[in-house]
C-alpha cells in the first residue's frame, strides 16, 4: 500500500540550478496529491516521473511566490493535454482571483472545472477525506497567512487470520463484518470472538508538511507523532535573528520540533540559496534529532 512523497523542490525564495522552490508530489494509496506549486513544478513533475495527470488535489500553503507561481502554468498544461476531470485546489481565498485573472488573459475557458476550497488560518480543519485517506490543514506561523498539511491514512480494517477462514468456513458475506471488528456466529449458534479471528492492522501512517513557518509550539501539537515530518529550515542558527525576523526556522529549531513532537523521521528543506553545502545543517540537527534526512530535489520518501 503505497505512501510515497517526492520532493520536487527544496529551495527557498530564489530557485537555483540545484534546488527548485517548494513543491511535493504525494502518492497515498493511489491518491495523487500536490503540495505547493512553485514556478517550474510541472517540469519537476516530469523530471521525477510523477503521474502528474492523475493529480486531483492541489494544496497551496500560502501566497509567497516560491509556493504557488507554477500553479496557473500547470492548470494551463492540464488544459492543453485535454484534461476534463475536475481539480480541487485548497488555498487562501485570494488565490481564486489570481487564477481567474491570469487565465482570463489567455484562455476563455479551461476544459475542466476547478474549485478553490478556502483554507482556515485560525484552526486545524479536515479539508479532504475519502474512504481511505484524510487531509487536515493547520495554521503555521509565518509573515502572511500560511497553513501546514497532514496527510494520513484512515484506520485500516482488521486482518483475518487465514487459517480461521477454513476452520470456521467463513463466507464472502462474513468477511467484511469480521474485518470491521464483528464477532462470528457459527451455524450452530456458537459465538467466535473477533480477537480469535483477527490480528490488529498496521497503525495508520501520516505525513506532515510545515513550510513556511518560524518555530512554534502550536506546530508541535499539530504534528505530534506523525511518521514523517517535513519542516522548513531556511537558515542555520548563525542566522537565527534573520530567521525570526523573516518568520522562518533554523535547522536546530526544525530538529527541536521533531524531537518534541516525537515524530518518526524528520525531513528538512526550504534551504536559503546562500547555502551551497549543507554540512552545518547536519551538525545542528544530528545532536537534537538523529533520525533525519536533508531534502534534495527528486528525493523519494516512503512514509
Applying CB under 5 A, the residues found at the interface with Zn ion are: 64, 66, 212
Q: How far is the CB of 198 from Zn ion (least distance, A)?
A: 46
Q: How far is the CB of 173 from Zn ion (least distance, A)?
A: 53
Q: How far is the CB of 303 from Zn ion (least distance, A)?
A: 23
Given 36, 66, 212, 297, the catalytic residue: 66
Residue among 21 and 178 whose Cβ is closer to Zn ion: 21
Instruction: Please check whether residue 275 is in contact with residue 248, taking contact to mean a CB–CB distance below 8 angstroms.
Output: no
Residue-by-residue DSSP string for 19-71: ---SEEEEEETTEEEEEEE-TTHHHHHHHTT--GGG--EEE---SSHHHHTTH
Residue among 20 and 252 whose Cβ is closer to Zn ion: 20
Q: How far is the CB of 57 from Zn ion (least distance, A)?
A: 21
Q: Torsion angle, CA of 256/299/6/93, rounded to 10 degrees?
A: 50
- Please indicate whether residue 282 is annotated as part of the active site: no
Residue among 153 and 212 whose Cβ is closer to Zn ion: 212
Report in angstroms the alpha-carbon separations of 232 from 11, 13, 26, 147, 290. 10, 12, 18, 13, 17
Residue among 5 and 178 whose Cβ is closer to Zn ion: 5
d(CA 200, CA 204): 11
Alpha-helical (H) ranges within 125-237 are: 162-167, 174-179, 194-197, 217-223
List residues with catalytic annotation: 66
Amino acid at each position: 500500500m503505497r505512501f510515497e512523497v517526492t520532493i520536487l523542490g527544496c529551495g527557498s525564495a530564489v530557485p537555483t540550478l540545484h534546488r527548485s522552490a517548494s513543491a511535493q508530489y504525494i502518492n497515498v494509496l493511489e491518491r495523487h496529491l500536490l503540495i505547493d506549486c512553485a514556478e517550474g513544478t510541472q517540469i519537476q513533475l516530469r523530471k521525477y516521473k510523477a503521474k502528474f495527470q492523475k493529480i486531483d488535489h492541489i494544496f497551496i500553503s500560502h501566497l509567497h511566490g516560491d509556493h504557488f507561481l507554477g500553479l496557473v502554468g500547470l492548470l494551463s498544461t492540464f488544459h492543453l493535454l485535454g484534461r476534463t476531470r475536475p481539480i480541487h485546489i485548497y488555498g487562501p481565498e485570494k488565490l481564486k482571483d489570481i487564477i481567474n485573472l491570469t487565465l482570463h488573459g489567455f484562455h476563455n475557458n479551461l476544459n475542466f472545472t476547478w474549485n478553490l476550497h478556502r483554507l482556515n488560518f485560525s484552526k486545524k480543519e479536515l479539508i479532504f477525506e475519502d474512504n481511505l485517506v484524510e487531509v487536515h490543514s493547520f495554521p503555521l506561523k509565518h509573515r502572511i497567512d500560511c497553513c501546514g498539511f497532514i496527510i494520513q491514512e484512515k484506520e485500516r480494517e482488521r486482518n483475518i487470520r487465514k487459517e480461521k477462514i477454513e476452520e470456521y468456513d467463513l463466507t464472502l458475506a462474513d468477511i467484511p463484518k469480521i474485518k470491521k471488528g464483528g464477532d462470528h456466529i457459527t451455524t450452530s449458534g456458537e459465538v467466535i470472538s473477533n480477537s480469535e479471528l483477527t490480528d490488529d492492522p498496521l497503525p495508520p501512517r501520516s505525513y506532515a508538511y510545515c513550510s513556511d513557518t518560524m518555530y512554534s509550539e502550536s506546530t508541535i501539537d499539530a504534528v505530534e507523532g506523525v511518521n514523517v515530518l517535513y519542516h522548513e529550515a531556511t537558515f542555520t542558527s548563525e542566522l537565527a535573528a534573520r530567521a525570526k525576523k523573516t518568520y522562518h526556522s533554523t535547522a536546530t529549531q526544525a530538529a527541536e520540533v521533531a524531537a518534541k513532537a516525537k515524530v518518526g523521521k524528520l525531513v528538512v528543506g526550504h534551504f536559503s540559496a546562500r547555502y551551497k553545502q549543507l554540512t552545518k545543517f547536519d551538525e545542528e540537527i544530528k545532536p537534537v534529532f538523529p533520525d533525519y534526512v536533508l531534502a534534495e530535489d527528486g528525493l523519494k520518501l516512503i512514509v
